[in-house]
Amino acid sequence: MKEQLIQRYSAPERINHWVVAVCFVLLAISGLAFFYPAFFWLTGVFGTPQLARIIHPFVGVVMFLAFARQFFRYWHHNLITSEDVKWMKSVKEVMKGNEVGDIGKYNGGQKGMFWLMCACMAVLLISGFIIWRPYFAPSFPIPLIRLALLAHASSAVALIAGIIIHVYAALWVKGTIRAMVEGVVTHAWAKKHHPRWYRDMTGKKS
């Protein structure tokens, strides 16, 4: 019998996601290199340390713009409801592989991740402009640049830890990678992980 599939992400959505993902990897590599002396060698990925320093902020702007597109695509799917609170409270049960609540397109964890990413992206963009040499930093007072450096590094760490969880969740929940690569998920996947979304998409009762 042929596998029953539901479209979850269109081609433009997938391209959008992977543009953000590639930018993120480049930024994390160079950012960690600037943050940890022991990882400074990672700047070699960009050719030379100087090139890594020059390229980093431009990639950052591309990531922000691509993420902003995602924000306008998905924000209304990520408003937190009482079902999500229930999910978050029972996260231990969820971690065992047992879904909790009547989940729509995204569950409480995914929604939390979405808003964490939004907050980090905003802080990274603003602080990034303040510390961007040689173009913008000279226009700001040094104490503000210091705060921006601290905020930039802190939010980058939060984002990196968040993305590790995001990637792990996709690896753990089988059938999820396919949604962002081929754009489709199976009926069984949707029924188990996103029952309300499954009903919305198929008109069936789960």
Partner 1 sequence: MALQSLDILRRSATPTATPQARTPVEVAKLIDVSTCIGCKACQVACSEWNDLREEVGSCVGVYDNPTDLSAQAWTVMRFAETEANGKLEWLIRKDGCMHCADPGCLKACPSPGAIIQYKNGIVDFHQENCIGCGYCVSGCPFNVPRLSPADNKAYKCSLCSDRVAVGQEPACVKTCPTGAIQFGSKEDMKEVASTRITDLKNRGYQHAGLYDPEGVGGTHVMYVLHHADQPELYSNLPKDPAISTTVSLWKGLLKPLATLGIAAAGLFGFFHYITVGPNRPDDEDHEENRK
Positions touching partner 1 (CB under 8 A) are: 33-38, 40, 43, 49-50, 52-54, 95-98, 131, 133-134, 137, 142-143, 145-147, 149-150, 153-154, 157-158, 160-162, 164-165, 167-168, 171-175, 186, 188-189, 191-193
Minimum distance, C-beta of residue 79 to partner 1, in the bound complex (Å): 25
**Torsion angles phi and psi, residue 204, rounded to 5:** -95, 165
Report the distance separating Cα 177 and Cα 185, nearest Å.
Answer: 9
Q: Which is nearer to partner 1, 24 or 189 (CB)?
A: 189
Hey, is 134 helix, strand or coil? coil
Report the distance separating Cα 87 and Cα 74, nearest Å.
Answer: 19
Out of 17, 56, 152, 166, the active site residue is 166
Q: Which is nearer to partner 1, 66 or 121 (CB)?
A: 121
Amino acid at 121: M
CB atoms within 10 A of CB 47: 10
Q: Which is nearer to partner 1, 79 or 91 (CB)?
A: 91
Q: Are 189 and 195 in contact (CB under 8 A)?
A: no
Q: Are 95 and 108 in contact (CB under 8 A)?
A: no
Report the distance separating Cα 82 and Cα 10, nearest Å.
Answer: 29
Cis before 134 (ω within 30): yes
* 166 has catalytic annotation: yes
Minimum distance, C-beta of residue 27 to partner 1, in the bound complex (Å): 14
Minimum distance, C-beta of residue 12 to partner 1, in the bound complex (Å): 26
Minimum distance, C-beta of residue 164 to partner 1, in the bound complex (Å): 4
Q: Which is nearer to partner 1, 11 or 38 (CB)?
A: 38
Angle value at C-alpha 125, between 110 and 72, nearest 5 degrees: 45
Active site residues: 166
